[in-house]
Amino acid sequence: MKAIASLIWTRSYLQTGNYASPRDLLTDSASCDHDSSSITVDLGRPAYHVSAVVMLPPQLDGQEGLFLHHKVFLSENNHNWGEPVAYGLWPREPKEKLSTFEPKPARYVRLVAESQAWVGISELNVYATPYAIPPDPTRGIWGPTIDFPIVPVAGATEASGMIILWSSWAPDLYFSSPGGQTATSQWHPFQHTVSQRTISDTHHDMFCPGISVDGTGMLLVTGGNDAEETSLYNITTGKWVTGPKMHFRRGYQSSVTLSDGRVFTIGGSWNGGSVTPKDGEIYDPIARTWTKLPGARVDPMLTDDMEGRWRSDNHGWLFGWKNLSIFQAGPSIAMHWYYVTDGGNVTDAGPRLHDQDSMSGNAVMFDAVAGKILTFGGAPDYEMSYATNHAHIITIGDPGTIPKVEVAGQNGGGMHSARAFGTSVILPDGTVFITGGQGYSLAFNEQNTMLTPELYFPHNNTFVQLQTNNIIRVYHSWSLLLPDATVLNGGGGLCGNCSANHYDAQVFTPPYLLTSSGQLRTRPEILTISRETATIGDEIFIRTRPKIGSASLVRLGGATHTVNTDQRRVPLLLKRVTRTEYSFTIPNDSGIVTPGYWMLFVMDAEGVPSVAKVIFISARVLGDPRPTVPRKQGYFFQKPAWESWESGCLQRVLGSLRWLWSWGV
C-alpha cells in the first residue's frame, strides 16, 4: 500500500477560507446541519483502489481542533457516495490518524468531522493498492472499518447489543504499566457511534485477563497487568465495580462459568511469577468470594513450551459442563476433566489424537446438546513456532469419561491455512467462522499472515474459504458474534510506537445473509416472546414472521488472546403451535445451558437467521437472581452496518487549493 503518487489534487471544504500553515481549518458555519464539516479530495483521475487515509492534525498546544469523530466516504463521480468506508473516534492526541478499509475504486475521497465547531489538518495522505479482491457475496462481505481511540485487545457483547472494548493502562501499549486503570471504548452499532472512557474506579489494569460472564449476568474480568485484581462489569447498565482479589496473581489465565453460575480459573503465569503453580480457584458471584482449589492442579495441563511455565499454562481451552465439571480440551495435547467439589480434583481425559500442543489455537462448542467441540490451529510454542492447520471434533459425554476425538476437515485434512493467533465465532446455524492468524507465531509481527477466513460446516465436515479482507489480524486480535448474526473482528498490536497496532475493527456479514448479488436476504423475525428471563427446563413460546425452520441459543460473552470460553451454541427442538407460533423447551441441564445471557435466533428453511432476542437463563442454584433484560435493546437493526447508512448533508462548497503529493510507504 502506497500513497498516491505525484499528482496535483484539489481539495474542497464546506466553507471557503484562507488559512495559514501549519493548520487548515474546517468550520461548520456553512454546513446545513451545523454538526459536521468536511474536506473532499479529487485524486485527478478514476480507478484508484483507495484503501486508507492518513491525517496529521495541527501541532498546537492543547487539544483544540483535533479531528476526533469522523467518517470517510469514497466516490467515483462526486455524486454517489453511499455508506462510509470507515467511521469512528480517533485518539485525542496530536498524532497521525489512520483509517484503513477494504480497497474500493474511487476518484473522490471525503473526510467528515462530526460534532465539532472546527478541526485542523496539517497533512493528509490517501493510500491505494494496485489490486483489489473482487467482491463475491457468496463468500461474505467485509463491511466498513470502525475506528477506536484505543487498540482494543479484549471485548464483550452487552445485553443491549453494544460492545465494550478495552486495551490496557494506555490506549496503545501494555508495558510499563503504573497500574490502576484501563482505557476502554464502547461501540453503539445501532447509532454508528464510538465513545471512550478511562476506568479507574476498580484500580485495575485489565490487560491480558480472564473473562467470563457469571451466573448472575455480570462480566467477570480477572488479573492481567494488575494480577490479583477482579473487576465486574454490569452488561445491562454499563457500570464497573470492584470485585474481590484472587488468591493467585494471574495473567493470561483462562476462566469459565460452571453449571451453577460460579466461575473457575486456572493458570496464568505470564504475570505474578511462575515458580508457584497457578492451581485452580473458584469465584462465587453471590458471596463475591474466591476459594482455592488445591486439588485442581495446573501441572497436568501444561504444554511443553520451550520458554517454560510462564508460557505453558496460558490460555486454557475450558468448557463448563455437567455436574460442576470442567473439560479442558487444550492447548496441551493432553486433555483433562477438572472438578470443584471437596477442594478440587483433576483426571486424565486422554490425548487429542495425534495432534501437538496448540498454544494460541481455538476451541469452540458448536453443539452443546451433543457435547461437540471443534478445535483448530495453534503452535507447539507460544512464540517462534510454526502453526498448524490441524482440526479435531471432540465429543464429550458424562464427566470423567474419555471423549471421542476425530480429525476434522475434508479427508481429515484440517483447515486450508495454518493459524496461530487466529480467532473464531460460532454462528447461529452451527457453522464456525475462523479468521486471522499467522503461519509462524511471533507477537507483534505481521509476516506470514492469513487474510482469507474460513467457515467450518459440521454437516459435511468441511472448511470453506470466505472473502479475503485487507486488514491484518494476528496477536491480540479477537472476534465476537453480534446479535444481528454478523461478526465483529478487530484489534491486534498494543505495542506502543509500532506498526502492528490496529485501532479498529470490521463487521463481516456471512454468506447466509446475502443473495448472490450482495443484497441482504429477507430475514425471519421474532415478533413476540413469552418471557425474557427463564430457567432451565422452561418452555418458551414465540411468534415469528414468516414461518421458520430452526432455532438456536448462542451465549453472550467476551474474548481476548484467542480465548472465548463463554461462547457455545444450543440447537433447539421447535414445536409448531400455529403456522407462525412455536414453542421450545430449554434443555433441563445447566451444564449444557450455562446460566447467563443468551441470544435467541430463528432461521428460515434456507438457514437465514433473524436478529436475536436476548434472554437471561438461570439455573436457580444461585438464588435465582434473574436480572432484567434492557427494554431498549440495541440489536433491533434490520440491516447490517454496511447497508444501513443515510447519506446526510455532505454538500460541497466552492474553495480549493492545490496539493502536491509524493510517494510514501
Tell me whether residue 665 is in a domain.
Answer: no
Tell me whether residue 69 is in a domain.
Answer: yes
Tell me whether residue 483 is in a domain.
Answer: yes
pLDDT at 388 over 50: yes
| 3-class SS of residue 467 | coil
Looking at the structure, tell me whether residues 494 and 356 fall in a common domain: yes
For the stretch 561-606, pLDDT in tens is 999 999 999 999 999 999 999 999 999 999 999 999 999 999 999 9
- Section 240-252 average pLDDT: 98
Given 90, 107, 132, which residue is the final one in a domain? 132
Looking at the structure, tell me whether residues 506 and 580 fall in a common domain: no
User: Could you tell me the pTM of the whole model?
Assistant: 0.91
Looking at the structure, tell me whether residues 357 and 455 fall in a common domain: yes
Tell me whether residue 222 is in a domain.
Answer: yes
Catalytic residues: 475
Looking at the structure, tell me whether residues 128 and 149 fall in a common domain: no
Give the range of the structural domain holding residue 550, as residue numbers without chain letter.
Answer: 525-643
pLDDT at 119 over 80: yes
Tell me whether residue 371 is in a domain.
Answer: yes
Tell me the pLDDT band of 659, cut-offs 50, 70 and 90.
very low
Looking at the structure, tell me whether residues 227 and 256 fall in a common domain: yes
Residue scoring higher pLDDT (426 or 656):
426
| 3-class SS of residue 412 | helix
Vertex 193 angle, CA 192 and 194, to 5°: 135
pLDDT at 662 over 60: no
Looking at the structure, tell me whether residues 250 and 349 fall in a common domain: yes
Mean of all residue pLDDT scores within the chain:
89
- Distance, CA of 19 to chain centre: 42
- Section 619-630 average pLDDT: 57
Looking at the structure, tell me whether residues 123 and 230 fall in a common domain: no
> Any idea which of 7-16, 69-78, 86-95, 558-567 has the lowest mean pLDDT?
7-16
Looking at the structure, tell me whether residues 65 and 115 fall in a common domain: yes
Which percentage of the chain shows pLDDT scores above 90? 81
Cβ-based neighbour number of residue 665 at 10 Å: 6
* 3-class SS shares of the chain: helix, strand, coil, % to 5: 5, 40, 55
Tell me the pLDDT band of 37, cut-offs 50, 70 and 90.
confident
What pairing do the DSSP bridges indicate for beta strands 533-535 and 613-618?
Answer: parallel
Looking at the structure, tell me whether residues 267 and 331 fall in a common domain: yes
Residue scoring higher pLDDT (630 or 511):
511
Looking at the structure, tell me whether residues 541 and 577 fall in a common domain: yes
> Any idea which of 58-72, 422-436, 477-491 has the lowest mean pLDDT?
58-72
As for how many domains the chain has, the answer is 3
Given 488, 513, 538, which residue is the final one in a domain? 513
Tell me whether residue 653 is in a domain.
Answer: no
Looking at the structure, tell me whether residues 104 and 169 fall in a common domain: no
CA distance 607 to 428: 9
CA 539, 540, 543, 544: dihedral to nearest 10 degrees? -100
For the stretch 253-312, pLDDT in tens is 999 999 999 999 999 999 999 999 999 999 999 999 999 999 999 999 999 999 999 999
Looking at the structure, tell me whether residues 491 and 593 fall in a common domain: no
> Any idea which of 59-73, 162-176, 317-331 has the lowest mean pLDDT?
59-73
Write the CATH number for 300: 2.130.10.80
Q: Which of 47, 37, 2 is nearest to 16 (CA)?
A: 37
